[in-house]
Amino acid sequence: MDKHHLDSSIDMPDTPGREAGLSDSDHQAVRLWLRLLTCSTQIEQVIRSQLRTEFSTTLPRFDYLAQLSRFPKGLRMKTLSEYLMVTGGNVTGLTDQLVAEGWVERVADEEDRRAMIVRLTRMGRKQFKAMATAHEQWLQQLLAPLDSGSASDLYEQLGKLRQVLSLSEGA
């Protein structure tokens, strides 16, 4: 994923380099988006970096495995691409890699010969389990300074946002 924009900061005037220069007051939507993106990007970079140094893997692969791990019987590639919010071609490429590494296997779908089902191998499941444990710890540590109340407030607010976004989605 790429990294974008930059959040302005009313409460951090000591970091002028990060101001987005949105001094006008009616840019609320833009400012909200930039701040959301800044937070998301920063967390993402931490996770990426950790996955690389600790497990020599990447975030897309981790995401792939994370989704797949929820379905012991496997998933159609098409379904997986929807869950991951990426294109089918991308899933094809990631699948090729993970199959080559022996973490995932392709199985023909007997009910529809166009479809392929992918599922974790035993090794894939084992590897993912270790990564998932670490992944959770990283996040807990990263977000530890956020008091539990703020965290659940934020979680709730993001829930509202997600709902709003899902409206435009189908349009």
Whichever of 56 and 113 has its CB closer to a copy of itself, that residue is 56
- Partner in contact with 170, chosen from a copy of itself, DNA, none, beta carbon below 5 to 8 Å by kind: none
Q: Judged by CB under 8 A, which of 13, 72, 89, 145 binds a copy of itself?
A: 145
8 Å CB contact between 94 and 84: no
Whichever of 116 and 131 has its CB closer to DNA, that residue is 116
Whichever of 31 and 77 has its CB closer to a copy of itself, that residue is 31
Q: Judged by CB under 8 A, which of 108, 123, 130, 161 binds a copy of itself?
A: 161
Q: Compute the Cα dihedral for 66, 68, 73, 79 and give only its sign.
A: positive
User: According to the binding rule CB under 7 A, does residue 102 interact with DNA?
Assistant: no
The residue ranges that bind DNA (CB under 7 A) are: 1-4, 48-49, 52, 58-61, 76-79, 81, 85-97, 106, 109, 112-117
